[in-house]
Amino acid sequence: MASANRVKIGLKCVECNDINYTTTKNSKKTTEKLELKKYCPRLKKHTVHKEVKLK
């Protein structure tokens, strides 16, 4: 059973502006936005991905 504190987020590539990944995070413990270095399949290289809200 999922916790009520967890929210779905998307990880958006900074360079091509595509949402390539989705994940969840605990909004009570992690208040700042996630910023991870992930693989972008469109650019075929590792780039910075930032957190965005999903609809």
Straight-line distance from the first to the last Cα atom of the chain, in angstroms, rounded to the nearest whole number: 22
Domain boundary assignment for the chain: 6-53
Copy the structure tokens of residue 46.
């590792």
Q: What is the pLDDT of residues 16-52, one digit of tens each?
A: 999 999 999 999 999 999 999 999 999 999 999 999 9
Length of the chain: 55
What is the pTM assigned to this prediction? 0.85
The highest-level CATH class for domain 6-53 is: mainly beta
